[in-house]
Structure 1
Amino acid sequence: MAGMNEVKHRIASTKSTRQITEAMEMVQTVKLNQIQGQTETYNTYVSKIKSVVMHLAQSHMLDNHKPSRNKADNSKGKTAYLVITSDRGMVGSYNSSVLRGTNRFIEQHTPNQDDYVIMAVGGTGADFYKKNGANIAYEYRGVSDIPTFNEVKGIVKAVSQMYNDGVFTELYVCYNHFVNRVKSDYRAEKLLPMDRESIEQSMNGAEGAGSDVKTKVLSAEYEVEPSEEEVLNAILPQYAESLVYGAILDAKTAEHSSSSMAMKAATDNADDLISSLELKYNRARQAAITTEITEITGGQEALNH
């Protein structure tokens, strides 16, 4: 009887957990649908600004562009990695995929820990690299479930300031790209410095993500007013903001998808466990009833004799 009560308690506890995971799956699915709607609107804007920057790059306007630096370069050629993770758990393999991909990328490009700094967007990444003794130059926690453009402007401003101050000489954005509801791919895209090569690499990487920007050779020349530098100084910051915002939006989409899938898997596992426990309980109950009947029958036969 004690064993049956224990199984009955486990069934009730598992059903309670299942209700929680099912509710969380529904919440994450709603968030995923919302952010996908926002991504579609954003893609219209970003495809236009990427097209403009790509044309400027291919017309060689960026060849002689030198961004202003506030101070003498004291970075000694350091590379910065802007790593986008979540602030919470229960997101499946999302965080481990980003961190594993970033660590592999860092090992290939800057194996010496003194040669790079980490810029963490998301508490999981910040905590991980702090624990492993990495140089954390910047961290941002609490990105909204549906990020706004204004949130990203603050991040871009901080990144640009450190770049201008010579904290690092190049920057990669590392995140998970949302492919579909069951798949995401790791990406590491070069953001700074903004030269023709890095922009073309970014464009080529974006083609698979729904962008209509294509790499082709252009021979067109432009008449620019008031000057090339002023035009570039106006457009390139918008381009940088669009890349960072796009990466965060993309990463959050992958996060919600991974969380939804993780909660679905947890719910399915709970269903399987409940079925198994109910079968075990029914068998134990049937065995107990059979034993009672046997005992009653045996007692009746003893009385008759």
Structure 2
Amino acid sequence: MSNAREIRSKVQSVKNTQKITGAMELVAASKMRGAIVKMNNVRPYVDCANTIIKNVVAASIDYPNPYLFEREVKRVGYIVTSTDRGLCGGLNINLFKHVLKDIKKHLDDRIEVDICVIGSKAETFFRKLKGVNVVAVAHYNDKDLETSIRMVSGAVKVMLDKFTNSEIDKLYLSSNQFIGTIKQKPRQQVLLPIQDVLTQEQKADDKDVSKGHWDYIYERDIEEVLNALCMRYIEAQVRGAILENAACEQAARMLAMKNATDNASDIIDQLKLDYNKVRQAMITQELAEICSGAAAV
């Protein structure tokens, strides 16, 4: 058993660590509130973009936009959104496991996989993975998300160009979904082709007969409008995923730091118990020595 001085030193060390984790918990909580506000602000825009593109495509427009229509899948692409920093529990690894499970199915079917990674954690993970090609990398800073999103657009454009040039036939967007401050879960959606997205949504809408579609009156050339609309739709999906993932990151970090702070309290209590046992043993030994000395006299 350690002596009393060593135990006191350990207690002080754990207390110092506890102060750090407690401060990080407060910082993460503050950043989380800001991230949630940004996430909620962008959601109506994303929902509106979804509704418009759904109605336009459902109107059976005969315009061969490459983003709209399905084709035989020989190669797929993924845009994976992770974090640049750690200390956020199992947020990243749970997402990576979810993506890996889907990638394995494609590789088993001899379908090649290209990946665009957002965040250093995803870059480190997928560069070590055999069988996939990391073709684009982007990073973002939670201190300036708007600038970071513009920088991410360059990496995303690489995947869009590959889809346009038929180098990939389906593009997925993988990120974390914000359920609440204590719950986040991986989410994967088909980003392109848009027709595939609408087919999946149509299956859900068929259960609700009250839902319908309508067309619009176009003041400009319909091809020009549709091209711009498809790009706005993709930008909205990526922006929403990044902002939601940022909220998930701060929520997961806040929870991880809270757990670390609570665990530090448990460790301190155990160390204090060990210290008291050592002190009790020392006192017992001293009393025994005094009694032995008195008996000798």
Which bin holds the TM-score, normalised by the shorter protein?
Answer: 0.7 to 0.9
Give the Cα separation in 1 of the matches to 2:38 and 2:227: 27
What is the match of residue 138 of structure 1? 136
What is the match of residue 101 of structure 1? 98
Amino acid at match of 2:270: S
Which deviates more, 156-165 or 118-127?
A: 156-165
What is the match of residue 112 of structure 2? 115
Cα deviations by residue, 1:190-243 (Å, 9 ceiling, x for unpaired): 111222x314547999xxxxxxxx99322x343322222111111111110000
- Aligned residue for 2:108, secondary structure, equals coil
- 1:168-247 residue pairs with structure 2 within 5 A? 168-195=168-195, 197-199=196-198, 201=200, 216-218=211-213, 220-247=214-241
What is the match of residue 208 of structure 1? none
Give the Cα separation in 1 of the matches to 2:141 and 2:4: 47
Cα deviations by residue, 1:8-29 (Å, 9 ceiling, x for unpaired): 2211111111111111111111
Deviation at 1:159, TM superposition (A): 2.8
CA, structure 1 residues 193+102, in 2 after alignment: closer, same or farther (shift >3 Å)?
same
Give the Cα separation in 2 of the matches to 1:151 and 1:200: 31
State whether residues 35 and 146 of structure 1, in contact with CA within 8 Å, keep that contact through their aligned partners in structure 2.
Answer: no
- Aligned residue for 2:185, secondary structure, equals strand
What is the match of residue 48 of structure 1? 48
Deviation at 1:57, TM superposition (A): 2.5
TM-score (norm 1): 0.84
Deviation at 1:142, TM superposition (A): 3.7
Give the Cα separation in 1 of the matches to 2:167 and 2:244: 27
Give the Cα separation in 2 of the matches to 1:186 and 1:76: 24
Q: Cα RMSD (Å) of the superposition?
A: 2.7
Which blocks of at least 5 consecutive residues in structure 1 are unaligned? 206-213
Which deviates more, 149-158 or 267-276?
A: 149-158
Amino acid at match of 1:79: V
**Identity rate of aligned residues, in percent?**
30
Amino acid at match of 2:121: T
Residue number among 239, 242, 258 corresponding to 1:248 in the alignment: 242
- Aligned residue for 1:136, secondary structure, equals strand
State whether residues 85 and 121 of structure 1, in contact with CA within 8 Å, keep that contact through their aligned partners in structure 2.
Answer: yes
What is the match of residue 11 of structure 1? 11
Which deviates more, 51-60 or 177-186?
A: 51-60
State whether residues 107 and 113 of structure 2, in contact with CA within 8 Å, keep that contact through their aligned partners in structure 1.
Answer: yes
Matched, 1:34 2:29: no
Matched, 1:84 2:90: no
Give the Cα separation in 2 of the matches to 1:221 and 1:143: 40
- Aligned residue for 2:216, secondary structure, equals coil
Which blocks of at least 5 consecutive residues in structure 2 are unaligned? none
CA, structure 1 residues 11+82, in 2 after alignment: closer, same or farther (shift >3 Å)?
same
State whether residues 87 and 123 of structure 1, in contact with CA within 8 Å, keep that contact through their aligned partners in structure 2.
Answer: yes
Matched, 1:300 2:294: yes
CA, structure 1 residues 43+160, in 2 after alignment: closer, same or farther (shift >3 Å)?
same
Which consecutive aligned stretches of 4+ in structure 1 deviate over 4 angstroms post-superposition?
202-205
Give the Cα separation in 1 of the matches to 2:25 and 2:201: 33
Deviation at 1:145, TM superposition (A): 5.1
The count of residues paired between Structure 1 and Structure 2 equals 287
What is the match of residue 154 of structure 1? 154
